[in-house]
Amino acid sequence: MKKTVLLSLALSASLFGANIDISEAGAKFDRVNPEFSKDVVLSYHSSIAEAKKSVVNISTKSKHKVANNPMAEMFNDPFFKQFFDFNLPRQEREVSSLGSGVIISDDGYIVTNNHVVENADEIVVTLLDNDKEYKAKVVGTDSKTDLAIIKIEEKRLSAIKFADSSKAVEGDIVFAIGNPFGVGGTITQGIVSALNKNNIGLNQYENFIQTDASINPGNSGGALVDSRGALIGINSAILSRSGGNNGIGFAIPSNMVKDIAKKLISDGKIERGYIGVTISDMSKEQKEIYNSKEGALISSVEEGLPADKAGIKRGDLIIKVDDKPVKNANELKNLVGSMNPGSKVEIEFERDGKNQKVTLKLDSMDKSSNAGSSNVDEGALEGLSLKNLDDEIRSKYALNKDLKGAIVTNVKADSKASEYGFRKGDIIIQIGQNDVENIDDFNKYIKAYKGKKVLVWVIRNGIPQGLVIR
């Protein structure tokens, strides 16, 4: 029976003329060695010789409180603290780590990853071509792009040459230079695997170059260069379940690096423009409603901020900023975030099938994100910063519109709040049997339970959890 059905299907395809015109590659071709000669060895040594002089090893030391008892970590977990009243001691230990950096000026400015130097008490830089050590100081950091600038006191250094990363294309040969596993200067080779990668979940601002050049622990902050030896990116991270290289590495594009580096050197910090909207990419169904098939869709507008004042509304599709096309939400975020607060920009958007333009003045992202944020009364609970829930936060985290509470915006390291297990993004909704609707409620009820154990309920990743505090 099965044979009959298969035969019928085959005959049907033949009768109805289901032919496929397959394009064939040329059958005649030459296979050659590139510039073959018995007296020639193919090499990229000269391509990366100068670039290698610009890459440095970075060694950091920092002090952390760690358990001095193998059981201590378990009993310091908030889950176990609900059942066991242990307060096992923790001692301060010095922790060392290794990374890489790239010299960007002959007088000692070096770019690296923020996570390489973050919280470091001491930073030591070593050039790849000699053993001389330099003490480095932090000039500025930007956790949102995972970039940092440090400086050593030295002249006549070999600074890297920057390439225009916007001109990189998939298939370009690239080299990763750094200090993997602390073995010293190492070069690996690959290609540009992909461009403009975002939503990886590594940084807040992402526009990665993806490469299959081997990037391993210690390569962070090192150089990704093209076949001319020009910098096209700063190696930042890999995707790996085991921690080893799987051929999926990410580098921060040189154009972003250059912009951030200049601002950190001149100002010591990054101030980003902000218009006060929540944005998303269009779904396939949403694209059917708009004439423009690319852009950033507005899902909410924060009251009193630039977009709201300019009349931008939910459902508007932003397609241009200062005549620069906006393909998706990530492009809008990166574009506006690269501009200085106070700048005037022209926004073009589609509404009801018609394009409109407005001019607005950018606010500061840091100022706006901290508006309404408050440190909890130190007498109530040390180390916790909260913000009252509002419509913008509910929309951002897809929360019920009627939910009330206070969201954790920051938890200081080694604080009581950290010890009890609070995390950034937790939404505090209840203390004991008391509902928490705002920061004032939190302070009041925490003080009422002072000296007693109480269960504090938070929503974390959409799931209610109870934290025990004393």
What's the pLDDT tens digit per position in 351-371? Answer: 999 999 999 999 887 665 555
Count Cβ atoms below 10 Å from residue 87 Cβ, excluding itself: 12
Structural domain contains residue 41: no
Q: Residue with structure tokens 């395809």?
A: 13
C-alpha span between 173 and 177 (Å, rounded)? 13
pLDDT tier at 77, thresholds 50, 70, 90: very low
Residues 46-52: what's their mean pLDDT? 89
What does the pLDDT read at residue 211?
92
pLDDT for 348 beyond 90:
yes
Q: What is the mean pLDDT of the chain?
A: 81
What does the pLDDT read at residue 368?
56
Structural domain contains residue 21: no
Last residue of a domain, one of 343, 367, 391: 367
Please check whether residues 281 and 357 belong to one and the same domain: yes
pLDDT tier at 83, thresholds 50, 70, 90: very low
Which tokens is 279 given? 């944005």
Domain count, the chain: 4
Of 348 and 379, more confident: 348
Residues 169-174: what's their mean pLDDT? 93
Cα dist from 375 to 5, 9, 160, 333, 442, whole Å = 74, 72, 43, 28, 11
CATH code of the domain in which 285 resides: 2.30.42.10
What does the pLDDT read at residue 92?
60
pLDDT tier at 108, thresholds 50, 70, 90: very high
DSSP assigned state of 121 = S
412 CB contacts (<8 Å, ≥6 apart)? Answer: 382, 383, 384, 418
Of 112 and 68, more confident: 112
Structural domain contains residue 33: no
Please check whether residues 260 and 318 belong to one and the same domain: no
Please check whether residues 218 and 244 belong to one and the same domain: yes
Order across the sheet with 137-142: list the strands. Answer: 133-135, 122-127, 55-67, 90-103, 109-113, 147-151, 137-142
Structural domain contains residue 67: yes
pLDDT for 26 beyond 60:
yes
Report which of 266, 268, 293, 264 is spatially closest to residue 281, judged by C-alpha positions: 293
Count Cβ atoms below 10 Å from residue 181 Cβ, excluding itself: 11
| pTM beyond 0.75 | no
pLDDT tier at 78, thresholds 50, 70, 90: very low
Q: pLDDT tens-digit profile of 406-437? A: 888 888 877 888 888 888 888 999 998 899 98
Structural domain contains residue 307: yes
Structural domain contains residue 243: yes
In sequence order, what DSSP letters do the residues of 166-210 get, joined into one string? GG--TT-EEEEEE-GGGS--EEEEEEEEEEEE--SSS-SS--EEE
What does the pLDDT read at residue 17?
54
Please check whether residues 231 and 287 belong to one and the same domain: no
Please check whether residues 356 and 423 belong to one and the same domain: no
Please check whether residues 81 and 114 belong to one and the same domain: yes
**Amino acid at the residue 77:** D
Q: pLDDT tens-digit profile of 133-171? A: 899 999 999 888 889 999 999 988 999 999 999 999 999
What does the pLDDT read at residue 261?
93
Last residue of a domain, one of 267, 285, 317: 267
The SS3 call for residue 78 is helix
pLDDT for 9 beyond 50:
no
C-alpha span between 104 and 258 (Å, rounded)? 9
Last residue of a domain, one of 123, 151, 179: 151
Please check whether residues 289 and 343 belong to one and the same domain: yes
C-alpha span between 468 and 82 (Å, rounded)? 6
By residue range, what is the domain housing residue 408?
373-469
pLDDT for 202 beyond 80:
no
Please check whether residues 288 and 314 belong to one and the same domain: yes
pLDDT tier at 464, thresholds 50, 70, 90: confident
* Parallel, antiparallel or unpaired: strands 363-364 and 354-361: unpaired
Structural domain contains residue 5: no
Say what percent of the chain tops pLDDT 90. Answer: 30
pLDDT for 252 beyond 80:
yes
Of 18 and 22, more confident: 22
Catalytic residue positions? 115, 146, 220
Please check whether residues 301 and 361 belong to one and the same domain: yes
* Parallel, antiparallel or unpaired: strands 231-238 and 223-226: antiparallel
Residues 249-275: what's their mean pLDDT? 90
Report which of 49, 156, 55 is spatially closest to residue 106, judged by C-alpha positions: 156
Q: pLDDT tens-digit profile of 369-386? A: 555 455 555 446 788 888
What does the pLDDT read at residue 191?
94
CB-facing half-sphere around the CA of 108: CA atoms within 13 A: 17
Which residues does residue 226 pair with via DSSP β-bridges, in sequence order? 174
Structural domain contains residue 2: no
pLDDT tier at 90, thresholds 50, 70, 90: low
C-alpha span between 175 and 189 (Å, rounded)? 4
Cα dist from 339 to 144, 233, 260, 370, whole Å = 15, 21, 11, 19
> Taking CA 161 as the corner, what is the angle to CA 244 and CA 228, rounded to the nearest 5 degrees?
70
Count Cβ atoms below 10 Å from residue 91 Cβ, excluding itself: 11
CATH code of the domain in which 69 resides: 2.40.10.10
